[in-house]
Chains A and B, each alone.
Chain A
Protein backbone atom coordinates (compact mmCIF):
# COMPACT_ATOMS: atom_id res chain seq x y z
CA UNK A 1 0.00 0.00 0.00
CA UNK A 2 3.02 2.27 0.47
CA UNK A 3 3.43 2.66 -3.27
CA UNK A 4 -0.14 3.79 -3.58
CA UNK A 5 0.44 6.32 -0.82
CA UNK A 6 3.56 7.63 -2.51
CA UNK A 7 1.74 8.04 -5.82
CA UNK A 8 -1.05 9.85 -4.06
CA UNK A 9 1.33 12.19 -2.24
CA UNK A 10 3.27 12.87 -5.44
CA UNK A 11 0.07 13.56 -7.33
CA UNK A 12 -1.45 15.96 -4.81
CA UNK A 13 1.95 17.50 -4.13
CA UNK A 14 2.47 18.13 -7.82
CA UNK A 15 -0.93 19.82 -8.15
CA UNK A 16 -0.18 21.94 -5.10
CA UNK A 17 3.32 22.71 -6.32
CA UNK A 18 2.27 23.83 -9.78
CA UNK A 19 -0.32 26.15 -8.27
CA UNK A 20 2.33 27.58 -5.95
CA UNK A 21 4.55 28.11 -8.95
CA UNK A 22 1.96 29.86 -11.10
CA UNK A 23 1.21 32.20 -8.21
CA UNK A 24 4.81 32.83 -7.19
CA UNK A 25 6.67 33.12 -10.47
CA UNK A 26 5.65 36.74 -10.90
CA UNK A 27 6.93 37.51 -7.43
CA UNK A 28 10.28 35.99 -8.28
CA UNK A 29 10.67 37.99 -11.47
CA UNK A 30 9.60 41.30 -9.94
CA UNK A 31 11.92 40.76 -6.97
CA UNK A 32 14.82 40.08 -9.28
CA UNK A 33 13.92 42.85 -11.67
CA UNK A 34 13.02 45.67 -9.32
CA UNK A 35 14.53 44.48 -6.06
CA UNK A 36 11.14 44.94 -4.48
CA UNK A 37 9.97 42.34 -1.99
CA UNK A 38 6.27 42.42 -2.72
CA UNK A 39 4.92 40.83 0.41
CA UNK A 40 1.43 41.71 -0.79
CA UNK A 41 1.72 39.33 -3.72
CA UNK A 42 -0.84 37.02 -2.15
CA UNK A 43 -3.40 39.80 -2.48
CA UNK A 44 -3.40 39.28 -6.24
CA UNK A 45 -3.86 35.55 -5.89
CA UNK A 46 -6.74 36.12 -3.52
CA UNK A 47 -8.28 38.62 -5.91
CA UNK A 48 -8.13 36.00 -8.63
CA UNK A 49 -9.83 33.49 -6.36
CA UNK A 50 -12.65 35.87 -5.50
CA UNK A 51 -13.09 36.87 -9.13
CA UNK A 52 -13.60 33.26 -10.11
CA UNK A 53 -15.93 32.32 -7.25
CA UNK A 54 -18.00 35.48 -7.66
CA UNK A 55 -18.38 35.26 -11.42
CA UNK A 56 -19.24 31.58 -11.35
CA UNK A 57 -21.30 31.48 -8.18
CA UNK A 58 -23.26 34.70 -8.54
CA UNK A 59 -23.43 35.33 -12.25
CA UNK A 60 -23.19 31.85 -13.70
CA UNK A 61 -20.19 32.70 -15.87
CA UNK A 62 -18.68 29.56 -17.40
CA UNK A 63 -15.45 28.29 -15.83
CA UNK A 64 -13.03 29.07 -18.70
CA UNK A 65 -14.30 32.63 -18.99
CA UNK A 66 -14.09 33.14 -15.23
CA UNK A 67 -10.51 31.90 -15.31
CA UNK A 68 -9.67 34.36 -18.05
CA UNK A 69 -11.39 37.15 -16.15
CA UNK A 70 -9.34 36.31 -13.04
CA UNK A 71 -6.17 36.68 -15.08
CA UNK A 72 -7.14 39.91 -16.82
CA UNK A 73 -8.77 41.45 -13.77
CA UNK A 74 -5.79 40.98 -11.46
CA UNK A 75 -3.41 42.09 -14.20
CA UNK A 76 -5.33 45.36 -14.39
CA UNK A 77 -5.26 45.72 -10.59
CA UNK A 78 -1.53 45.08 -10.79
CA UNK A 79 -1.13 47.74 -13.45
CA UNK A 80 -2.97 50.33 -11.37
CA UNK A 81 -1.14 49.57 -8.12
CA UNK A 82 2.24 49.48 -9.83
CA UNK A 83 1.78 52.85 -11.46
CA UNK A 84 0.12 54.43 -8.45
CA UNK A 85 2.13 53.01 -5.53
CA UNK A 86 4.89 50.48 -6.16
CA UNK A 87 6.75 52.46 -8.82
CA UNK A 88 7.25 55.33 -6.40
CA UNK A 89 9.06 53.14 -3.92
CA UNK A 90 11.55 51.26 -6.09
CA UNK A 91 14.37 53.37 -4.68
CA UNK A 92 13.03 53.53 -1.13
CA UNK A 93 14.47 51.37 1.63
CA UNK A 94 13.30 47.87 2.43
CA UNK A 95 11.40 49.03 5.47
CA UNK A 96 9.23 51.42 3.48
CA UNK A 97 8.55 48.76 0.88
CA UNK A 98 7.60 46.25 3.55
CA UNK A 99 5.25 48.79 5.12
CA UNK A 100 3.47 49.52 1.87
CA UNK A 101 2.89 45.82 1.39
CA UNK A 102 1.56 45.30 4.91
CA UNK A 103 -0.75 48.26 4.35
CA UNK A 104 -2.03 46.71 1.12
CA UNK A 105 -2.54 43.37 2.85
CA UNK A 106 -4.58 45.01 5.62
CA UNK A 107 -6.71 46.82 3.05
CA UNK A 108 -7.27 43.67 1.00
CA UNK A 109 -8.15 41.56 4.04
CA UNK A 110 -10.65 44.17 5.22
CA UNK A 111 -12.21 44.59 1.78
CA UNK A 112 -12.56 40.84 1.36
CA UNK A 113 -14.25 40.56 4.74
CA UNK A 114 -16.61 43.43 3.99
CA UNK A 115 -17.46 42.11 0.55
CA UNK A 116 -17.61 38.39 1.10
CA UNK A 117 -17.69 37.64 4.82
CA UNK A 118 -15.20 35.61 6.79
CA UNK A 119 -16.05 32.15 5.44
CA UNK A 120 -14.11 30.39 2.74
CA UNK A 121 -15.72 30.67 -0.70
CA UNK A 122 -17.06 27.54 -2.33
CA UNK A 123 -17.52 27.03 -6.00
CA UNK A 124 -19.27 24.35 -8.01
CA UNK A 125 -16.89 23.13 -10.67
CA UNK A 126 -18.31 22.38 -14.10
CA UNK A 127 -19.43 18.79 -14.60
CA UNK A 128 -16.57 17.88 -16.90
CA UNK A 129 -14.03 18.62 -14.14
CA UNK A 130 -15.83 16.77 -11.37
CA UNK A 131 -15.31 13.21 -10.27
CA UNK A 132 -12.34 10.99 -10.95
CA UNK A 133 -10.37 10.04 -13.96
CA UNK A 134 -8.71 6.70 -14.30
CA UNK A 135 -5.06 6.67 -15.34
CA UNK A 136 -3.17 3.38 -15.52
CA UNK A 137 -5.84 1.72 -13.47
CA UNK A 138 -5.73 4.30 -10.70
CA UNK A 139 -8.35 6.92 -9.92
CA UNK A 140 -7.31 10.53 -9.67
CA UNK A 141 -9.36 13.58 -8.82
CA UNK A 142 -10.22 15.06 -12.20
CA UNK A 143 -9.83 18.68 -11.19
CA UNK A 144 -6.29 18.15 -9.91
CA UNK A 145 -5.36 16.36 -13.11
CA UNK A 146 -6.70 19.39 -14.92
CA UNK A 147 -4.63 21.72 -12.71
CA UNK A 148 -1.45 19.84 -13.48
CA UNK A 149 -2.05 19.69 -17.23
CA UNK A 150 -3.25 23.28 -17.52
CA UNK A 151 -0.33 24.57 -15.44
CA UNK A 152 2.16 22.53 -17.42
CA UNK A 153 0.91 24.12 -20.64
CA UNK A 154 0.94 27.56 -19.06
CA UNK A 155 4.46 27.12 -17.73
CA UNK A 156 5.70 25.94 -21.12
CA UNK A 157 4.16 28.97 -22.75
CA UNK A 158 5.68 31.26 -20.14
CA UNK A 159 9.15 29.80 -20.59
CA UNK A 160 8.89 30.18 -24.33
CA UNK A 161 7.89 33.82 -23.90
CA UNK A 162 10.75 34.53 -21.49
CA UNK A 163 13.41 32.63 -23.38
CA UNK A 164 12.44 33.01 -27.01
CA UNK A 165 10.80 36.39 -27.46
CA UNK A 166 12.29 39.83 -27.68
CA UNK A 167 10.34 40.97 -24.62
CA UNK A 168 11.67 38.01 -22.68
CA UNK A 169 15.20 38.90 -23.73
CA UNK A 170 14.66 42.46 -22.53
CA UNK A 171 13.39 41.27 -19.17
CA UNK A 172 16.34 38.95 -18.75
CA UNK A 173 18.75 41.73 -19.69
CA UNK A 174 17.10 44.10 -17.23
CA UNK A 175 17.29 41.52 -14.44
CA UNK A 176 20.98 40.98 -15.13
CA UNK A 177 21.88 44.61 -15.29
CA UNK A 178 19.23 47.28 -15.04
CA UNK A 179 21.51 50.24 -15.65
CA UNK A 180 23.05 48.63 -18.69
CA UNK A 181 19.63 47.87 -20.12
CA UNK A 182 18.60 51.45 -19.58
CA UNK A 183 21.74 52.78 -21.22
CA UNK A 184 21.11 50.83 -24.41
CA UNK A 185 17.74 52.46 -24.71
CA UNK A 186 15.40 50.02 -23.04
CA UNK A 187 12.51 51.72 -21.32
CA UNK A 188 12.94 50.02 -17.98
CA UNK A 189 9.92 51.70 -16.41
CA UNK A 190 7.77 50.15 -19.13
CA UNK A 191 9.42 46.76 -18.64
CA UNK A 192 8.78 46.97 -14.91
CA UNK A 193 5.12 47.82 -15.38
CA UNK A 194 4.47 45.10 -17.94
CA UNK A 195 6.29 42.50 -15.91
CA UNK A 196 4.46 43.46 -12.76
CA UNK A 197 1.18 43.26 -14.65
CA UNK A 198 1.93 39.82 -16.03
CA UNK A 199 3.13 38.61 -12.63
CA UNK A 200 -0.03 39.86 -10.95
CA UNK A 201 -2.19 38.33 -13.65
CA UNK A 202 -0.49 34.98 -13.21
CA UNK A 203 -0.95 35.19 -9.46
CA UNK A 204 -4.65 35.86 -10.02
CA UNK A 205 -4.88 32.95 -12.41
CA UNK A 206 -3.09 30.72 -9.91
CA UNK A 207 -5.37 31.84 -7.12
CA UNK A 208 -8.41 31.09 -9.30
CA UNK A 209 -7.10 27.70 -10.41
CA UNK A 210 -6.25 26.74 -6.86
CA UNK A 211 -9.62 27.51 -5.24
CA UNK A 212 -9.92 24.01 -3.87
CA UNK A 213 -6.31 23.86 -2.67
CA UNK A 214 -5.75 27.28 -1.12
CA UNK A 215 -9.11 28.19 0.29
CA UNK A 216 -10.32 31.63 -0.75
CA UNK A 217 -10.93 33.60 2.45
CA UNK A 218 -10.00 37.02 3.80
CA UNK A 219 -6.83 35.93 5.62
CA UNK A 220 -5.43 34.43 2.41
CA UNK A 221 -2.62 36.99 1.94
CA UNK A 222 -1.33 36.38 5.49
CA UNK A 223 -1.80 32.66 5.53
CA UNK A 224 -0.04 31.67 2.33
CA UNK A 225 2.49 34.49 2.10
CA UNK A 226 5.15 32.36 3.73
CA UNK A 227 4.71 29.68 1.06
CA UNK A 228 5.00 32.13 -1.83
CA UNK A 229 8.10 33.69 -0.32
CA UNK A 230 9.65 30.32 0.33
CA UNK A 231 9.19 29.30 -3.29
CA UNK A 232 10.92 32.46 -4.41
CA UNK A 233 13.63 32.29 -1.80
CA UNK A 234 14.54 28.72 -2.57
CA UNK A 235 14.15 29.12 -6.30
CA UNK A 236 16.42 32.13 -6.52
CA UNK A 237 15.45 35.62 -7.54
CA UNK A 238 14.82 36.76 -11.06
CA UNK A 239 14.61 33.32 -12.60
CA UNK A 240 11.59 31.50 -13.97
CA UNK A 241 12.98 27.98 -13.78
CA UNK A 242 14.36 27.90 -10.24
CA UNK A 243 11.03 28.61 -8.55
CA UNK A 244 9.43 25.80 -10.54
CA UNK A 245 11.61 23.14 -8.94
CA UNK A 246 11.34 24.87 -5.58
CA UNK A 247 7.54 24.93 -5.84
CA UNK A 248 7.36 21.24 -6.71
CA UNK A 249 9.70 20.41 -3.85
CA UNK A 250 7.64 22.40 -1.37
CA UNK A 251 4.31 21.19 -2.72
CA UNK A 252 5.33 17.56 -2.46
CA UNK A 253 7.26 18.03 0.79
CA UNK A 254 4.41 19.79 2.52
CA UNK A 255 1.87 17.25 1.28
CA UNK A 256 4.08 14.39 2.40
CA UNK A 257 4.57 15.90 5.86
CA UNK A 258 0.87 16.52 6.34
CA UNK A 259 0.08 13.03 5.12
CA UNK A 260 2.60 10.98 7.05
CA UNK A 261 3.40 13.11 10.09
CA UNK A 262 0.34 15.32 10.54
CA UNK A 263 1.21 15.86 14.18
CA UNK A 264 4.12 18.01 13.04
CA UNK A 265 2.16 20.00 10.45
CA UNK A 266 4.41 22.18 8.34
CA UNK A 267 7.21 22.09 10.89
CA UNK A 268 9.67 20.19 8.75
CA UNK A 269 9.03 22.32 5.68
CA UNK A 270 9.72 25.50 7.63
CA UNK A 271 12.74 23.91 9.27
CA UNK A 272 14.13 22.82 5.92
CA UNK A 273 13.58 26.29 4.50
CA UNK A 274 15.30 27.93 7.47
CA UNK A 275 18.29 25.67 7.13
CA UNK A 276 18.55 25.90 3.35
CA UNK A 277 18.15 29.68 3.26
CA UNK A 278 20.74 30.13 5.97
CA UNK A 279 23.26 27.94 4.23
CA UNK A 280 22.49 29.03 0.68
CA UNK A 281 21.15 32.58 0.81
CA UNK A 282 20.86 32.60 -2.98
CA UNK A 283 18.40 29.75 -2.91
CA UNK A 284 18.74 26.17 -4.04
CA UNK A 285 18.53 26.94 -7.71
CA UNK A 286 19.51 30.59 -7.73
CA UNK A 287 22.68 32.19 -8.95
CA UNK A 288 22.04 35.72 -7.79
CA UNK A 289 21.37 37.00 -4.30
Chain B
Protein backbone atom coordinates (compact mmCIF):
# COMPACT_ATOMS: atom_id res chain seq x y z
CA UNK B 1 0.00 0.00 0.00
CA UNK B 2 2.84 2.37 0.79
CA UNK B 3 5.21 3.71 -1.81
CA UNK B 4 8.70 3.15 -0.60
CA UNK B 5 11.22 5.91 -0.54
CA UNK B 6 14.46 4.03 -0.73
CA UNK B 7 16.90 6.59 0.57
CA UNK B 8 16.87 9.39 3.11
CA UNK B 9 20.56 9.91 3.70
CA UNK B 10 21.33 10.29 0.00
CA UNK B 11 18.17 12.18 -0.92
CA UNK B 12 18.05 15.77 -2.01
CA UNK B 13 15.68 17.82 0.10
CA UNK B 14 15.48 20.74 -2.26
CA UNK B 15 11.90 21.73 -3.08
CA UNK B 16 10.98 20.46 -6.53
CA UNK B 17 8.89 22.57 -8.87
CA UNK B 18 5.95 20.18 -8.64
CA UNK B 19 5.84 20.70 -4.90
CA UNK B 20 4.98 24.35 -5.43
CA UNK B 21 1.96 23.43 -7.50
CA UNK B 22 -0.53 23.03 -4.61
CA UNK B 23 0.35 26.50 -3.33
CA UNK B 24 0.09 28.10 -6.74
CA UNK B 25 -3.26 26.43 -7.27
CA UNK B 26 -4.44 27.52 -3.82
CA UNK B 27 -3.46 31.15 -4.40
CA UNK B 28 -4.91 31.17 -7.90
CA UNK B 29 -8.17 29.73 -6.56
CA UNK B 30 -8.38 32.61 -4.10
CA UNK B 31 -8.58 35.09 -6.97
CA UNK B 32 -10.43 32.94 -9.51
CA UNK B 33 -13.23 31.55 -7.35
CA UNK B 34 -14.18 34.24 -4.81
CA UNK B 35 -17.60 32.63 -4.38
CA UNK B 36 -16.17 29.32 -3.25
CA UNK B 37 -13.83 30.50 -0.54
CA UNK B 38 -15.72 28.85 2.30
CA UNK B 39 -15.50 25.53 0.46
CA UNK B 40 -11.85 26.35 -0.18
CA UNK B 41 -11.18 26.94 3.51
CA UNK B 42 -12.89 23.67 4.33
CA UNK B 43 -10.66 21.88 1.84
CA UNK B 44 -7.53 23.42 3.34
CA UNK B 45 -8.60 22.47 6.86
CA UNK B 46 -9.32 18.90 5.89
CA UNK B 47 -6.03 18.67 4.02
CA UNK B 48 -4.37 19.54 7.30
CA UNK B 49 -6.35 16.83 9.08
CA UNK B 50 -5.68 14.22 6.39
CA UNK B 51 -2.01 15.16 6.40
CA UNK B 52 -1.88 14.38 10.10
CA UNK B 53 -3.61 11.07 9.43
CA UNK B 54 -1.05 10.23 6.77
CA UNK B 55 1.71 10.83 9.27
CA UNK B 56 0.25 8.15 11.51
CA UNK B 57 -1.02 5.63 8.96
CA UNK B 58 1.25 6.21 6.01
CA UNK B 59 4.53 7.00 7.70
CA UNK B 60 4.31 5.33 11.10
CA UNK B 61 2.20 2.38 9.94
CA UNK B 62 -0.29 2.74 12.80
CA UNK B 63 -3.79 1.87 11.58
CA UNK B 64 -6.16 4.01 13.59
CA UNK B 65 -9.90 4.52 13.37
CA UNK B 66 -10.05 7.17 16.03
CA UNK B 67 -8.19 10.07 14.53
CA UNK B 68 -11.26 12.30 14.38
CA UNK B 69 -11.09 12.40 18.18
CA UNK B 70 -8.07 14.72 18.07
CA UNK B 71 -9.73 16.91 15.46
CA UNK B 72 -12.77 17.14 17.71
CA UNK B 73 -10.69 17.84 20.79
CA UNK B 74 -9.01 20.72 18.97
CA UNK B 75 -12.35 22.00 17.71
CA UNK B 76 -13.94 21.91 21.17
CA UNK B 77 -10.88 23.41 22.83
CA UNK B 78 -11.07 26.46 20.58
CA UNK B 79 -14.84 26.65 20.93
CA UNK B 80 -14.91 26.30 24.71
CA UNK B 81 -12.13 28.85 25.14
CA UNK B 82 -14.22 31.33 23.23
CA UNK B 83 -17.70 30.50 24.54
CA UNK B 84 -16.85 29.87 28.20
CA UNK B 85 -13.62 31.69 28.92
CA UNK B 86 -13.86 34.66 26.62
CA UNK B 87 -10.49 33.87 25.03
CA UNK B 88 -11.22 34.99 21.51
CA UNK B 89 -7.77 35.46 20.04
CA UNK B 90 -7.54 32.96 17.16
CA UNK B 91 -3.80 32.32 17.41
CA UNK B 92 -4.03 31.71 21.13
CA UNK B 93 -6.91 29.29 20.54
CA UNK B 94 -4.94 27.59 17.80
CA UNK B 95 -1.94 27.10 20.05
CA UNK B 96 -4.13 25.84 22.89
CA UNK B 97 -6.02 23.43 20.64
CA UNK B 98 -2.80 22.03 19.21
CA UNK B 99 -1.29 21.63 22.65
CA UNK B 100 -4.32 19.96 24.20
CA UNK B 101 -4.72 17.53 21.29
CA UNK B 102 -1.00 16.80 21.37
CA UNK B 103 -1.11 16.04 25.08
CA UNK B 104 -4.15 13.80 24.70
CA UNK B 105 -2.36 12.11 21.80
CA UNK B 106 0.67 11.59 24.00
CA UNK B 107 -1.37 10.15 26.85
CA UNK B 108 -3.49 7.84 24.74
CA UNK B 109 -0.51 7.03 22.55
CA UNK B 110 1.48 5.75 25.51
CA UNK B 111 -1.48 3.56 26.34
CA UNK B 112 -2.66 2.44 22.91
CA UNK B 113 0.65 1.91 21.13
CA UNK B 114 1.71 -0.85 23.49
CA UNK B 115 -0.73 -3.01 21.56
CA UNK B 116 -0.83 -3.82 17.88
CA UNK B 117 -3.12 -5.11 15.15
CA UNK B 118 -6.79 -5.58 15.91
CA UNK B 119 -6.48 -4.58 19.55
CA UNK B 120 -4.92 -1.30 18.52
CA UNK B 121 -7.65 -0.58 15.99
CA UNK B 122 -10.31 -1.32 18.55
CA UNK B 123 -8.65 0.74 21.26
CA UNK B 124 -8.50 3.77 19.01
CA UNK B 125 -12.14 3.22 18.17
CA UNK B 126 -13.11 2.83 21.83
CA UNK B 127 -11.25 5.97 22.88
CA UNK B 128 -12.87 7.98 20.13
CA UNK B 129 -16.28 6.63 21.15
CA UNK B 130 -15.44 7.70 24.68
CA UNK B 131 -14.63 11.24 23.53
CA UNK B 132 -17.83 11.38 21.52
CA UNK B 133 -19.87 10.28 24.52
CA UNK B 134 -18.22 12.92 26.71
CA UNK B 135 -18.98 15.65 24.18
CA UNK B 136 -22.50 14.32 23.81
CA UNK B 137 -23.28 14.23 27.52
CA UNK B 138 -21.31 17.16 28.95
CA UNK B 139 -23.94 19.49 27.52
CA UNK B 140 -23.20 22.46 29.75
CA UNK B 141 -19.70 22.62 28.27
CA UNK B 142 -20.21 21.35 24.73
CA UNK B 143 -23.86 21.96 23.96
CA UNK B 144 -24.28 18.22 23.41
CA UNK B 145 -26.16 17.15 20.33
CA UNK B 146 -27.18 20.75 19.56
CA UNK B 147 -23.56 21.74 19.18
CA UNK B 148 -21.61 24.54 20.76
CA UNK B 149 -22.74 27.95 19.61
CA UNK B 150 -21.88 31.41 20.83
CA UNK B 151 -18.36 31.05 19.54
CA UNK B 152 -16.94 34.42 18.54
CA UNK B 153 -13.47 34.98 17.22
CA UNK B 154 -11.43 38.15 17.46
CA UNK B 155 -9.56 39.47 14.40
CA UNK B 156 -6.27 37.73 13.70
CA UNK B 157 -3.40 39.71 15.27
CA UNK B 158 -6.09 42.22 16.17
CA UNK B 159 -6.31 43.29 12.55
CA UNK B 160 -7.68 40.69 10.11
CA UNK B 161 -11.38 40.25 10.79
CA UNK B 162 -13.10 36.96 9.79
CA UNK B 163 -15.35 38.23 6.96
CA UNK B 164 -18.59 36.92 5.54
CA UNK B 165 -17.01 35.83 2.28
CA UNK B 166 -14.41 33.71 3.98
CA UNK B 167 -11.42 35.58 2.55
CA UNK B 168 -9.64 35.81 5.89
CA UNK B 169 -10.55 32.25 6.82
CA UNK B 170 -9.16 31.00 3.51
CA UNK B 171 -5.82 32.80 3.71
CA UNK B 172 -5.47 32.07 7.41
CA UNK B 173 -6.05 28.34 6.86
CA UNK B 174 -3.69 28.41 3.91
CA UNK B 175 -0.98 30.01 6.03
CA UNK B 176 -1.37 27.47 8.82
CA UNK B 177 -1.37 24.60 6.31
CA UNK B 178 1.77 25.97 4.67
CA UNK B 179 3.67 26.18 7.94
CA UNK B 180 2.60 22.69 9.01
CA UNK B 181 3.40 21.27 5.56
CA UNK B 182 6.89 22.67 5.81
CA UNK B 183 7.38 21.21 9.29
CA UNK B 184 6.04 17.81 8.27
CA UNK B 185 8.14 17.77 5.14
CA UNK B 186 11.23 18.60 7.18
CA UNK B 187 10.36 15.93 9.72
CA UNK B 188 9.91 13.28 7.05
CA UNK B 189 13.32 14.00 5.55
CA UNK B 190 15.07 14.01 8.91
CA UNK B 191 16.79 11.09 10.62
CA UNK B 192 13.55 10.76 12.56
CA UNK B 193 11.66 10.30 9.28
CA UNK B 194 14.24 7.76 8.17
CA UNK B 195 13.79 5.81 11.36
CA UNK B 196 10.01 5.80 10.84
CA UNK B 197 10.63 4.21 7.45
CA UNK B 198 12.86 1.69 9.20
CA UNK B 199 10.14 0.86 11.72
CA UNK B 200 7.60 0.36 8.95
CA UNK B 201 9.97 -1.79 6.98
CA UNK B 202 11.23 -4.01 9.79
CA UNK B 203 10.26 -3.20 13.33
CA UNK B 204 12.22 -6.02 14.94
CA UNK B 205 15.41 -4.96 13.20
CA UNK B 206 14.91 -1.40 14.40
CA UNK B 207 14.86 -2.73 17.93
CA UNK B 208 17.91 -4.78 16.96
CA UNK B 209 19.88 -1.62 16.25
CA UNK B 210 18.91 -0.13 19.56
CA UNK B 211 15.99 2.06 18.52
CA UNK B 212 13.35 2.66 21.18
CA UNK B 213 10.59 1.99 18.69
CA UNK B 214 7.69 2.54 21.00
CA UNK B 215 8.93 5.92 22.14
CA UNK B 216 9.30 7.02 18.54
CA UNK B 217 5.79 5.90 17.64
CA UNK B 218 4.37 7.78 20.61
CA UNK B 219 6.27 10.87 19.45
CA UNK B 220 4.88 10.78 15.94
CA UNK B 221 1.41 9.95 17.25
CA UNK B 222 1.46 13.01 19.52
CA UNK B 223 2.73 15.27 16.76
CA UNK B 224 0.02 14.01 14.45
CA UNK B 225 -2.63 14.49 17.14
CA UNK B 226 -1.45 18.04 17.63
CA UNK B 227 -1.77 18.78 13.93
CA UNK B 228 -5.27 17.29 13.89
CA UNK B 229 -6.06 19.55 16.83
CA UNK B 230 -4.89 22.59 14.87
CA UNK B 231 -7.20 21.57 12.03
CA UNK B 232 -10.07 21.25 14.49
CA UNK B 233 -9.45 24.74 15.84
CA UNK B 234 -9.41 26.14 12.31
CA UNK B 235 -12.78 24.53 11.65
CA UNK B 236 -14.27 26.08 14.78
CA UNK B 237 -12.88 29.48 13.92
CA UNK B 238 -14.13 29.51 10.34
CA UNK B 239 -17.58 28.10 11.23
CA UNK B 240 -17.93 29.79 14.63
CA UNK B 241 -19.64 26.58 15.69
CA UNK B 242 -18.70 23.06 16.83
CA UNK B 243 -20.91 20.02 16.29
CA UNK B 244 -20.67 16.42 17.46
CA UNK B 245 -19.82 15.25 13.97
CA UNK B 246 -16.34 16.74 14.43
CA UNK B 247 -15.66 13.69 16.63
CA UNK B 248 -17.56 10.89 14.99
CA UNK B 249 -16.52 7.56 13.60
CA UNK B 250 -17.95 8.61 10.25
CA UNK B 251 -15.44 11.43 10.04
CA UNK B 252 -12.60 9.04 10.88
CA UNK B 253 -13.84 6.87 8.03
CA UNK B 254 -14.24 9.76 5.63
CA UNK B 255 -10.75 11.18 6.14
CA UNK B 256 -9.38 7.70 5.62
CA UNK B 257 -11.21 7.64 2.29
CA UNK B 258 -9.70 10.99 1.33
CA UNK B 259 -6.22 9.80 2.21
CA UNK B 260 -6.56 6.54 0.37
CA UNK B 261 -8.04 8.26 -2.63
CA UNK B 262 -5.00 10.51 -2.88
CA UNK B 263 -2.44 7.90 -1.93
CA UNK B 264 -1.13 6.76 1.45
CA UNK B 265 2.36 7.74 2.59
CA UNK B 266 2.91 10.24 -0.20
CA UNK B 267 2.59 13.58 1.60
CA UNK B 268 0.79 15.10 -1.37
CA UNK B 269 -1.81 12.35 -1.40
CA UNK B 270 -3.54 14.28 1.37
CA UNK B 271 -3.73 17.36 -0.87
CA UNK B 272 -5.08 15.66 -3.96
CA UNK B 273 -7.37 13.15 -2.26
CA UNK B 274 -8.98 15.70 0.03
CA UNK B 275 -9.50 18.29 -2.67
CA UNK B 276 -10.93 15.75 -5.10
CA UNK B 277 -13.22 14.26 -2.47
CA UNK B 278 -14.56 17.53 -1.10
CA UNK B 279 -15.06 19.18 -4.49
CA UNK B 280 -16.90 16.14 -5.80
CA UNK B 281 -18.91 16.01 -2.60
CA UNK B 282 -19.82 19.68 -2.92
CA UNK B 283 -20.99 19.18 -6.49
CA UNK B 284 -22.77 15.86 -6.05
CA UNK B 285 -23.68 15.18 -2.47
CA UNK B 286 -26.34 17.84 -2.16
CA UNK B 287 -28.11 16.72 -5.29
CA UNK B 288 -27.73 12.97 -4.79
CA UNK B 289 -26.84 12.33 -1.14
CA UNK B 290 -27.55 8.58 -1.22
CA UNK B 291 -25.87 8.00 -4.54
CA UNK B 292 -22.87 9.92 -3.26
CA UNK B 293 -22.26 7.49 -0.42
CA UNK B 294 -22.94 4.57 -2.69
CA UNK B 295 -20.38 5.88 -5.15
CA UNK B 296 -17.78 6.48 -2.45
CA UNK B 297 -18.31 2.97 -1.15
CA UNK B 298 -17.96 1.41 -4.57
CA UNK B 299 -14.90 3.54 -5.25
CA UNK B 300 -13.33 2.42 -1.99
CA UNK B 301 -13.96 -1.26 -2.68
CA UNK B 302 -12.54 -0.71 -6.16
CA UNK B 303 -9.43 0.95 -4.74
CA UNK B 304 -8.76 -1.96 -2.39
CA UNK B 305 -9.20 -4.43 -5.23
CA UNK B 306 -7.42 -2.66 -8.05
CA UNK B 307 -5.64 0.59 -7.16
CA UNK B 308 -4.06 0.51 -3.73
CA UNK B 309 -1.78 3.44 -4.45
CA UNK B 310 -4.68 5.86 -4.90
CA UNK B 311 -4.63 8.68 -7.44
CA UNK B 312 -0.92 9.43 -7.01
CA UNK B 313 -0.10 5.74 -7.23
CA UNK B 314 -2.08 5.47 -10.46
CA UNK B 315 -0.22 8.53 -11.75
CA UNK B 316 3.09 6.91 -10.84
CA UNK B 317 2.36 3.70 -12.69
CA UNK B 318 0.99 5.65 -15.64
CA UNK B 319 4.18 7.71 -15.98
CA UNK B 320 6.27 4.57 -15.50
CA UNK B 321 4.35 2.92 -18.32
CA UNK B 322 4.70 5.97 -20.53
CA UNK B 323 8.41 6.09 -19.90
CA UNK B 324 8.76 2.43 -20.82
CA UNK B 325 6.68 2.96 -23.95
CA UNK B 326 8.83 5.92 -25.01
CA UNK B 327 12.03 3.94 -24.50
CA UNK B 328 10.68 1.20 -26.72
Contacts and interface: CB of A to CB of B under 8 A. Distances in A.
A265 B137 contact: yes
Interface stretch (A93-101, A134-142, A144-152): A93-101
B221 to A, nearest CB: 15
Q: Is the interface of A mostly helix, strand, loop or mixed?
A: helix
Given A98-B65, A99-B260, A267-B133, A106 B296 contact: yes
B249 A222 contact: yes
Interface stretch (A57-65, A120-128, A159-167, A269-277): A269-277
A31 B118 CA distance: 9
Contacts of A186: none
B231 interface: no
B256 interface: yes
B253 interface: yes
Contacts, number: 132
A168 interface: no
B96 to A, nearest CB: 24
A88 B137 contact: no
Given A95-B1, A99-B303, A265-B137, A277 B296 contact: no
A274 B129 CA distance: 10
A107 B123 contact: no
A230 B122 contact: yes
B256 A107 contact: no
B187 interface: no
A281 B296 CA distance: 33
B129 A226 contact: yes
Given A99-B303, A233-B119, A278-B114, A107 B294 contact: yes
Which residue of A99, A113, A114 has the most chain B CB atoms within 10 A of its CB atom? Answer: A99
Contacts of A105: 253, 297
Contacts of B23: none
B137 A263 contact: yes
Contacts of A37: 118, 121
Which residue of A95, A105, A277 has the most chain B CB atoms within 10 A of its CB atom? Answer: A95
B304 A233 contact: no
B305 to A, nearest CB: 7
Contacts of B118: 31, 37, 94, 233, 237
A266 B136 CA distance: 10
A213 interface: no
B112 interface: yes
A161 to B, nearest CB: 25
B39 interface: no
A233 B122 contact: yes
B119 A271 contact: no
Contacts of A233: 118-119, 122
Contacts of B293: 106-107, 109-110, 113
B127 A274 contact: yes
Contacts of B127: 274
Given A265-B133, A265-B137, A104 B126 contact: no
B264 A274 contact: no
Q: Which 9 A-B pairs have the closest CB atoms?
A: A103-B300, A106-B297, A107-B297, A110-B294, A110-B293, A103-B301, A270-B130, A281-B119, A100-B304
Given A98-B63, A277-B126, 5 more contacts: A96-B304, A98-B121, A102-B300, A106-B300, A266-B129
Interface of B: 1, 57, 63, 65, 111-112, 114-115, 117-119, 121-123, 125-127, 129-130, 133-134, 136-137, 249-250, 253, 256-257, 260, 264, 289-294, 296-301, 303-305, 308
8 contacts: A98-B63, A98-B121, A103-B297, A222-B249, A226-B129, A265-B133, A274-B127, A278-B114
